[in-house]
Amino acid sequence: MNDLQVGRGIEPAPVEVGDSLEATERRLILATLAQCGGDKKRAAKILGISLKTLYNRLHLYAAV
pLDDT at 2: 47
pLDDT at 1: 46
Say which residues have a Cβ less than 8 Å from residue 18's Cβ, sequence separation at least 6. Answer: none
Binned average pLDDT, 10 residues per bin, the chain of 64 residues: 52 81 94 96 97 97 84
Q: How far is CA 43 from the centre of its chain?
A: 7
Q: Which domains does the chain have, with CATH numbers?
A: 19-63 (1.10.10.60)
